[in-house]
A and B are shown apart, each in its own frame.
Chain A
Amino acid sequence: MAKMLSHQASLPLYAPSMALSFVALFGAELVVHADESFWLPLVYSVGGFAVALVGSVFIWRRWHQLSQPPNVVLMSFVLLALGPIAASYLAPYLSLEPQPVEIQLLQCLEIIMLGLVASGRWRRACYLLGVVSLFLMVASLALAFDARIMYVLIAYAVVGLAWLVVYQGFQLREQTQGLAQLVRSERIQARRLPVLAISLTLLAVLAIFVGAALLSSNRWSGSWLELLGSSGGTSLLRWEARGGLGDGPDEVAGQNARSAGMVESDWMIEDYRDSLIDVITETYGEPLRIRQPHEKMLPGQYARIIQHHGHLPENLSPNREFALHRKRPKNPPQPFTGRAARALLEIQGRTPLHLRRVVYDEYDEQAHSWQPAHYVAPRVIEPVGGSWLEVRSAMEAGSWYWADDYHTIKIARLEENFVPAPPLLKGLQLRHALLAEHHFQWNYDDVLALRDRKRWPSGVVLTTWCRTVSYEAIPAAAWLPIEQSLPPTVSKRRYTGVPQSLEPRLKQLAQKWAGAAEPGWPQISAILTHLREHYTLDRTLTAPAEHPQPILWFLEESHCGPDYFFASSAVLLLRALGYPARLCLGYYAAPEAYDPITRYTPVTTHDIHFWAEVRLRDGNWVVLEATPGYSTLPPKIPWRQLLLDTVRGVAAWVQKHAVALALSAGLILFLWWQRRRWLEWLWRCRWAWARRFAPLDLLVRLTWQIVEWRARAAGLIRPPWQTPSAWLKEMELPLGLPAEFVHHFGSCLNHAYYAPHLSAQQDRGDGLDLCHRALGLLTYERWRRANHSRSILHGAPTTRTTRRGSRSRPRVRALAH
């Protein structure tokens, strides 16, 4: 039997540690594969653990003579641990599903633990393994929503108890010795490693980033904070994103019996587009109608005429126009917080997010209503590998977009067929569903929907891939003109037309609000900012029925109203300035609704919302938010750009304050260079002040503080176990001090430090003279010469290397004598 090495883990330590790590690994895999059955996590954990165990055999054979696991192995596993994070960035290119941040970190911890398993033959690795497995188990518990984790926890507790009883009980002494050796070796290791230098470097890097973030503009400084882990919401910048909502009763179908859902009679309205009648009616109120008997023919399998008196039931109305003249809503949406409703869908990813549902492009001047868009820009859906489908436009995308973003959208009870995708969609992937491009159709321009289906099945998980944009970065030329982007068959007036009766007033208002702003985003931003700052959102307010122009009523009289007035005004005002704009209706995923428990942002029927959109030169429509309290998705800034922005920001700041910085740096350098002189001056001032009032013992102590400070400046530090008088006696020869002075001043020091309550041995005058003499004799130059001579006599190092509290054996030996 081979002799056991001193650094080798004994069996009572090795076996339970391995068992603990396996249980923790299985628990973590249960969390990672929460949607899978029991067997898949088991297979993964057994497989990973077996690979690590086999690796441990090879590693031990190769490096068993080392007292600790080889650094190359540990570093390899540390690098491997970065794999899950790297995979999240490469997910779209490798057809992988991007994982939430928490899961990525959990997987990192798993890999680190497997690295320790591979190095588990070393005693030290075994100790660390127990700690890391505990971390992993705690993290898994915090992230788990599966009741199965409790069985794993029980198993972990049982194995841990066995470990305590078997190992700690019978091997307590060995373990204590092992720990003592470990602590000693750690101390030695700590002395060898430049811990201080590494810590200072890290602190400096951190300080640079924090300082840059605090000193710079909000955009990129906030983006650094975006890097902090979050599965949803916006970031730490918005505290609301961390507040959750409670789920409540099912309100998707509406509370009104008449609004029990869209018309189900296929033979009456053969149209798969969502009607939105119930939701809009509940949210924004019923539209005002002319109360006259009339006839209406509905398309169907057979042409039927429904003869009725009074107004047509709302759910039988085939049109999808949106009238601005409406009744007061009976059930206006609640604020984002404190409401109870079951989600239509849940979003994981950055918010706020606008999900288009209906697009309106033409404003009917007579009916005061918006007409749904009919034109659909040519776009192609193509498979691009894996289960990803890419949405391609006929026109080439502009170069002003930022990094792509990904969202995971889980369908809960979406009784509609539109694809809840963010704007600027580039692609999508359906998990657990085999859908091809021909399963989709375009309901409206940029509004994708399921073909020949009325609703989404619950539980479908959709991953979307979209561009992000920074409005400031879009060049002015990208906003105009529309003539280059629309085909000749499409009436440009649908996107730029303003009602004739409103045009002069709207143009006047728009030009007034835009002021001298440059065309492009500055001009658009001025319009939006004016609306957001000077107008108030009131969902219960409606335009008076007798008012001829509800838009003007909102803009000039009430200055407050529901969100469709904000969006309509923005669209018409921007059109008056020549920008191609349209009105959109859809859902708004608010950061305030983020639920930290489920780590999803739920979207309910209350989140229905109107917003404006403007078409860019490349044919893409970007969201503009004119409603107060709503915002658009910030751009996702890539690392390279983030670093570049940081450097630019710091450089700009430095350039701006160059003179002040140079003066400050010069002053600091001068103070540092002359630090000994002005500190000496400060000490002297303090001593001179104390000389007048302080008792003699205090003055002696102050004198010694000055002397000791000079010694420190010269590189000599008094060992902590030596009294001042003893040290002075020891330094008598190197300093070349008179023996009688050392004796007298040492006695004086002893009295000042250890017998201040006793009467003084000498009168104040003699004591002051002695202190004067000490300050004159024990100068910085004398200490420096002493240090130099000591270093020549004893060789390097000097006493400076002896830190306070550290142990210096030669000095201790001298002490014993």
Chain B
Amino acid sequence: MLAGLLARGHLLLEDLPGVGKTTLAKALAHSIGGRFARIQCTPDLLPTDITGFSWFNQKTREFEFQPGPVFADVLLVDELNRATPRTQSALLEAMAERQVTVDNQRYPLSSTFFVIATQNPLEHHGTYPLPEAQLDRFAMKLSIGYPAREDEIDILTHAELYEGFQALPTEAVISREQLQQLQQLTASIAVHPSVRAYLVDLGRATRQHKQIRLGISPRGLLIWQRVAQAWALLHHRTFVTPDDIQAVAIPVLSVRLGVDAGKDVTPVIRDLFCQVPVPT
């Protein structure tokens, strides 16, 4: 998650209900500081409920823009796939270009605008699958999974803390300016041409793999490189190695590789690594 944040990418949390997706997203949002907003997606959610709308002020006799929750620094979109495609599309511009357009008026978003979306993979009833264009806006897709036995015992022991999100941090651990500096530092992490070529070869291999319907796009490669840079930064390195590329491959690729329904993308990604040797 931190790598996604440093890479200025958006996160998609996909897991079973009740494993702590929303808690994790809120914890990250609170720790960053800045303005936090949350959208609970439902089928009757409208695009203006996300982007905001213009209303007529009878006192001033003018239309005024009422910003929506998208104008936050951290936006938590809960159960994204419950929104209609029309509403989902309202997020496209915001996630890709960090701006929204309402009534032909462009409104820039925060420079640290960061979307954390959650979705339930099993609840197909009343959900709308995310289109590829929407998925490609996300940097990574993460799964939390069930906690370990000891962790679950700990959760039960401190049950009162988890009720009402009392365990969440009350103060931000990093300021907005510090986050911007870290994001700039991430972008300056060096990538050797051989590592870049390795990344491109992996990307091309996704387009030629027999089990992949839709390979990675150039935008996906850009995000993959940036996330790898963030991963290298988190490991106190000033350059990217193929290990960084491989380490972030599964979360980066699983959100954007088109494989047949019901098939796990992880073995396919492992197969890709077997096909492309690391540069030495």
Contacts and interface: CB of A to CB of B under 8 A. Distances in A.
B279 A753 contact: yes
A812 interface: yes
A704 to B, nearest CB: 8
B239 interface: yes
B195 to A, nearest CB: 5
A815 interface: yes
B250 interface: yes
B192 A813 contact: no
B190 A755 contact: yes
A758 interface: yes
B276 A754 contact: no
Nearest to A724: B280
Interface stretch (A329-337, A505-513, A681-689, A715-723): A715-723
A807 B274 contact: yes
Given A755-B192, A816-B250, A816-B266, A723 B210 contact: no
B237 to A, nearest CB: 7
A654 to B, nearest CB: 45
Interface in A739-768: 750-751, 753-758
B271 interface: yes
A754 B266 contact: no
A757 B193 CA distance: 10
B274 A725 contact: no
A386 interface: no
A754 B270 contact: no
A725 B243 contact: yes
B238 A758 contact: yes
Contacts of B190: 755, 757-758
Which of A721, A754, A816 is most buried by chain B, counting CB atoms within 10 A of its CB? A754
Interface string A795-817: 00000000011010000110110
- How many chain B residues sit at the interface, stated as a range, is 20 to 34
Interface in B234-280: 237-243, 246, 250, 266, 269-271, 273-274, 276-280
B259 to A, nearest CB: 15
Nearest to A807: B274
A721 B276 contact: yes
A345 B266 CA distance: 75
B274 A180 contact: no
A726 B277 contact: no
B241 A723 contact: yes
A813 B271 CA distance: 10
A812 B274 contact: yes
Contacts of B175: none
Contacts of B178: none
Contact of A723 (B270, B276, B278): B278
Interface string A775-812: 00000000000000000000000000000110100001
B23 interface: no
A726 B243 contact: yes
B40 interface: no
A758 B237 CA distance: 12
Interface in B158-215: 190, 192, 194-195, 210
Contact of B274 (A721, A756, A758): A721
A726 to B, nearest CB: 5
Interface in B18-77: none
Given A721-B276, A724-B280, A757 B241 contact: no
Contact of B238 (A720, A755, A804): A755
Contact of B278 (A180, A721, A751, A755): A721
A751 B241 CA distance: 9
Contacts of A805: 274, 277
Contact of B239 (A180, A758, A812): A758
A3 to B, nearest CB: 25
Contacts of A804: 277
Interface residues of A, number: 23
A755 B229 CA distance: 13
Nearest to A750: B241
A812 B195 contact: no
A281 B243 CA distance: 92
Contacts of B280: 723-724, 753
Given A755-B190, A812-B273, A725 B241 contact: yes
B192 A721 contact: no
Contacts of A721: 246, 273-274, 276-278
B230 to A, nearest CB: 16
B246 A754 contact: no
Contact of B270 (A724, A725, A726, A813): A813
A755 B241 CA distance: 8
Nearest to A759: B238
B273 A723 contact: no
Interface in A459-513: none
A779 to B, nearest CB: 21
A754 B277 contact: no
Contacts of A758: 190, 238-239
A339 B271 CA distance: 67
Contacts of B276: 721
Given A720-B277, A720-B278, A724-B280, A754 B271 contact: no
A754 B274 contact: no
A202 B66 CA distance: 82
Contacts of A720: 274, 277-278
Nearest to A806: B274
A685 B250 CA distance: 44
A813 B250 CA distance: 13
A757 B192 CA distance: 8
Nearest to A753: B280
A3 B62 CA distance: 76
A180 B190 CA distance: 40
Contact of B240 (A754, A807, A812, A815): A754
A70 B68 CA distance: 72
Given A723-B278, A754-B240, A815 B273 contact: yes
Contacts of B278: 720-723
B239 A754 contact: yes
Nearest to B249: A816
A180 B211 CA distance: 11
The 5 closest A-B pairs by CB, nearest first: A720-B277, A755-B239, A721-B273, A812-B270, A754-B192
Interface of B: 190, 192, 194-195, 210, 237-243, 246, 250, 266, 269-271, 273-274, 276-280
28 contacts: A720-B274, A720-B278, A721-B277, A721-B278, A723-B241, A723-B242, A723-B278, A726-B243, A750-B237, A750-B239, A751-B239, A753-B192, A753-B194, A753-B241, A754-B195, A754-B240, A754-B241, A754-B242, A754-B279, A755-B192, A807-B271, A812-B271, A812-B273, A813-B270, A815-B273, A816-B250, A816-B269, A816-B270
Given A751-B239, A812-B271, 13 more contacts: A720-B277, A721-B276, A723-B243, A723-B278, A750-B237, A753-B279, A754-B239, A754-B279, A755-B190, A755-B192, A757-B192, A758-B190, A812-B273
